[in-house]
Structures are given as structure tokens and as C-alpha cells.
Amino acid sequence: MLAHVYATSVDEERHRGENERHARHRALLASHAARPLPRAARPLLPQRLGAAMLRLVRRDRHSLTAYPCRLPDGRIGRTAVVLQNGDWSLVCRVA
């Protein structure tokens, strides 16, 4: 009997104010439907072209390995595998 009373009170609490919540949600949906959605922000054409050029210049980035190496100026870089004159070789690149 006690479990039944408790379950009933939990059920009543769950549904309290349900009509008001649904009405608020319907009003919110109606207000969003009334105004058009804004266009997605997109970078300008010169910025997109600049990014494409950088991708072309740095396209051998995928060849970087997890192995550290020392650059000529003393900084730490990462070893890269590159194709030079038909042979694969290991070079130290800026990470």
C-alpha cells in the first residue's frame, strides 16, 4: 500500500505543470518558425584561398613521425619521411 501511494505521488510530481511546459514549448517553436534562420558564417574567399595555399605548401605534414630530432638552430623538431630524388629519407622538420 505504501509503495502504491509513493508511486502515485511520484507520478503526480512528474506531470505537475506539464500543460504549461508544453504550451511554452509550442510558443517557442512558433516564434522560431516565424523568423528565417540566419545563413551559416563562412570565411571570405581570400581567406579560403590562403588556407588552400597553406595546405598545398604544407602537404607533407602527414609524413611527420612521433620521433623527436634536433633542428640546426637547436630547437626540437620531429622526424619526417620524405621522398627526395626517388629515395625515401628521414629529415628533421619543425613540428
The predicted-structure confidence for 25-39, as pLDDT tens digits, reads as follows 998 888 877 776 667
Q: What is the mean pLDDT of residues 58-67?
A: 73
| pLDDT surpasses 80 at 50 | yes
* Average pLDDT along the chain: 83
Q: Note the pTM of the prediction, 2 decimals.
A: 0.36
CA-based end-to-end distance of the chain: 70
Q: Rounded to an integer, what distance in angstroms lies between the CA atom of residue 62 and that of residue 34?
A: 47
Burial class (CB in 10 A: 0-12, 13-18, 19+), 95: middle
CB 79 within 8 A of CB 95: no
- Position 75 scores a pLDDT of 92
Banded model confidence at residue 61, pLDDT cuts 50, 70, 90 = low
- Position 76 scores a pLDDT of 93
Q: Which residue has the higher pLDDT, 36 or 86?
A: 86
Burial class (CB in 10 A: 0-12, 13-18, 19+), 38: exposed
- Position 68 scores a pLDDT of 93
